[in-house]
Amino acid sequence: MYDKICKKCGTKLSDFYRTYMLGCPECYSAFEREILLALKKIQGANIHTGKMPKIANIDRELLSEYERLIKEKEDAALDGRFSRIKELSAQLVELSEELKRRGLL
């Protein structure tokens, strides 16, 4: 079992068990059964579910809006639209205060 070798890159199954790293994409096929067993043992499941940052949807929306306003302000500056820059600056100050209260800035 430990002497299985990936035909594409030459990685040995024993290398995987030692480092938990594979040599190439073909290793996933070559060691599929063993990888699934190892993942289940290590993580408690053999599928990757991913993780979402612990941030509320409204916080994401506020951060997105903040980034959009910064970009719009930069564009206004490049175009010389000074009254728009003033409006955007006021909006950014207000939004940045809210983001600071939420611990996001």
For 12, phi and psi rounded to 5 degrees?
-95, 150
What sign does the dihedral 66-70-76-81 (CA atoms) show? positive
Show the low-confidence residues of the chain (pLDDT under 50).
none
Alpha-carbon gap, residue 77 to 62, rounded angstroms: 22
Tokens of 23: 């040599």
Give the pLDDT confidence score for residue 66 in this predicted structure. Answer: 94
Q: What residue ranges do the domains of the chain occupy?
A: 1-50, 57-101
Give the pLDDT confidence score for residue 40 in this predicted structure. Answer: 76
Give the pLDDT confidence score for residue 37 in this predicted structure. Answer: 82
Its pTM stands at 0.49
Give the pLDDT confidence score for residue 15 in this predicted structure. Answer: 87
Give the pLDDT confidence score for residue 33 in this predicted structure. Answer: 87
Contacts of 24 (CB under 8 A, 6+ apart): 6, 8, 9, 11
The answer to whether the CB of 8 falls within 8 A of the CB of 24 is yes
Give the pLDDT confidence score for residue 51 in this predicted structure. Answer: 61
